[in-house]
């Protein structure tokens, strides 16, 4: 329902009163003398209250000229019941206060595939996003958290490294969140989710939060809702976010669209030392760490380090201020891990000072939006009644060779387009 209103000055108290009405779409008309530039006092109430508003300027001849449309909540989300509103408010309040139980419940909510819970999750995420933006503005626009992606082949010692690295960070006063992603079985759909059991000391640390999540078949070694989980962890006050991914491969590039820095962990005795080059993943690495550099493995670790230093020189430069480094570390002796953190802080400072980090995050927001659009469009396409009833028939024809996959896809698309 659209409610036209003439507002000389949109006072905060009046706008808050509108939130108690059963409507969420208002049509505000401002006199031509009212300034609506971004960041001005009369525009800020709309940005912070989650209203859907169409702002127009009333000209001297009585005509209206539309200025902009700003939507902060999903247009077709049904009104929350009192119980649902209390539930979202409870999660939001507990989360921004740093309560781990509320953070865990919030991540479970955004991971849900239930349609109504998805809507509740979007309402919660919008509230957290507004809170997060306000805190960033108080921090002079600088990011509140450092997002790091960790990847490597099985046996590289990722979990062992994270436990030692995480304990070092919490002892220095940081709050650490680890989003450990486990591959799901294509047969049963389940996951072992064993990362937390391998980080026994870190899991008991009150300044660390470990969340294992199944991929449920998602490509890229990350879950469908990893971006949302990162936002919730930052809203809960965690200033370092580690995303441990499934492994190394072409589909692993998805994690690079979520983090500020990508770290590749490699064991010193993995057979073909340059397999990272062949698989392309080394091109995305900002830092390469050769793990287990202790005891009898020191010599092969040094050799692999030299080979990767040479190989990185052949790759195209991706940053104006940073060249990827290759270091040796040992989670057993602690050698090199403190120096590794110094390199990571140097990377953050350099990319933040020249604007690369801000530009990367803006690009990541766009990628996140389009990933959600693609997922929603595909789901809507597959569940449409006319398409759903044709899919089994076309799949059968493709299997017996009576129809090519391309023609079957074209037929389904034409069926979907002609649904009206």
Span 278-293, pLDDT tens digits? 556 777 889 999 998 8
153 touches 267 (CB < 8 A): yes
How high is the pLDDT of residue 218? Answer: 55
Task: Annotate 111-154 with DSSP letters as a single string.
Answer: H---HHHHHHHHHHHHHHHHHHHHHHHHTTT--SSEEEEEE--T
The pTM for the full model equals 0.74
Residue ranges of the chain whose pLDDT lies below 70: 1-78, 182-197, 214-224, 246-253, 270-280, 419-420
Query: What whole-number distance in Å separates Cα of residue 127 and Cα of residue 417?
Result: 36
Q: What is the pLDDT of residues 100-140, one digit of tens each?
A: 999 999 999 998 888 888 889 999 999 999 999 999 999 88
Q: Are the C-beta atoms of residues 255 and 221 closer than 8 Å to each other?
A: yes
pLDDT digit string, tens, across residues 132-180: 999 999 988 889 999 999 888 877 888 889 999 999 999 999 999 999 8
Average per-residue pLDDT for the chain: 77
**Is residue 326 within a helix (H) or strand (E), and if so which, with residue range?**
strand 325-328
List every span in the chain annotated with CATH 3.40.50.300.
143-368
CATH topology of domain 143-368: Rossmann fold (3.40.50)
Please state which of the four CATH numbers 1.20.5.170, 3.30.70.1450, 3.40.50.300, 3.40.50.1820 is assigned to the domain occupying 80-138. Answer: 1.20.5.170
Q: Specify the pLDDT at position 212.
A: 82
Positions of CATH 1.20.5.170 in the chain: 80-138
Whole-number Å distance between alpha carbons of 249 and 153: 9
């Amino acid at each position: 329902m659209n409610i036209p209103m003439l507002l000389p000055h949109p006072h905060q108290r009046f706008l808050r009163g509108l939130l108690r009405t059963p409507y969420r779409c208002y049509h505000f008309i401002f006199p031509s003398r009212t300034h609506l530039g971004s960041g001005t006092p009369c525009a800020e109430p709309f940005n912070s209250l989650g209203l859907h508003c169409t702002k127009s300027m009333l000209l001297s001849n009585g005509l209206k000229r539309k200025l902009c449309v700003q939507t902060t909540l999903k247009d077709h989300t049904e009104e929350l019941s009192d119980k649902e509103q209390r539930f979202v408010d409870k999660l939001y309040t507990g989360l921004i206060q740093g309560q781990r139980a509320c953070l865990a419940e919030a991540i479970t909510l955004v991971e849900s595939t239930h349609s109504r819970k998805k809507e509740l999750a979007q309402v919660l995420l919008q509230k957290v996003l507004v809170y997060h933006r306000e805190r960033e503005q108080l921090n002079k626009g600088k990011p509140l958290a450092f997002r790091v992606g960790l990847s490597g082949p099985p046996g590289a010692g990722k979990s062992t490294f994270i436990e030692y690295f995480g304990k070092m960070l919490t002892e220095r006063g940081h709050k650490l969140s680890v989003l450990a992603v486990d591959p799901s079985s294509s047969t049963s759909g389940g996951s072992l989710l064993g990362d937390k059991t391998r980080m026994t000391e870190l899991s008991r640390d009150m300044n660390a939060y470990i969340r294992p999540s199944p991929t449920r078949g998602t490509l890229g070694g990350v879950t469908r809702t990893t971006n949302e989980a990162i936002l919730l962890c930052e809203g809960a006050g965690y200033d370092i976010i580690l995303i441990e991914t499934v492994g190394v491969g072409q589909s692993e590039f998805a994690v690079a669209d979520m983090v500020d820095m990508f770290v590749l962990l490699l064991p010193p005795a993995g057979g073909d030392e340059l397999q990272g080059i062949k698989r392309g993943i080394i091109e995305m690495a900002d830092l390469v760490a050769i793990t287990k550099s202790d005891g009898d493995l020191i010599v092969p670790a040094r050799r692999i380090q030299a080979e990767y230093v040479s190989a990185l020189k052949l790759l195209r430069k991706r940053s104006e201020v940073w060249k990827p480094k290759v270091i040796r570390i040992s989670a057993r002796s602690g050698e090199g891990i403190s120096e590794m953190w110094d390199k990571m802080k140097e990377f953050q400072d350099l990319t933040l000072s020249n604007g690369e980090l801000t530009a990367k995050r803006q690009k990541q927001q766009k990628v996140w939006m389009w990933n959600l659009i693609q997922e929603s469009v595909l789901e809507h396409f597959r569940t449409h009644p006319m398409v759903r009833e044709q899919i089994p028939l076309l799949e059968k024809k493709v299997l017996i060779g009576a129809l090519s996959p391309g023609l079957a896809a074209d037929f389904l698309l034409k069926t979907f387009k002609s649904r009206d």
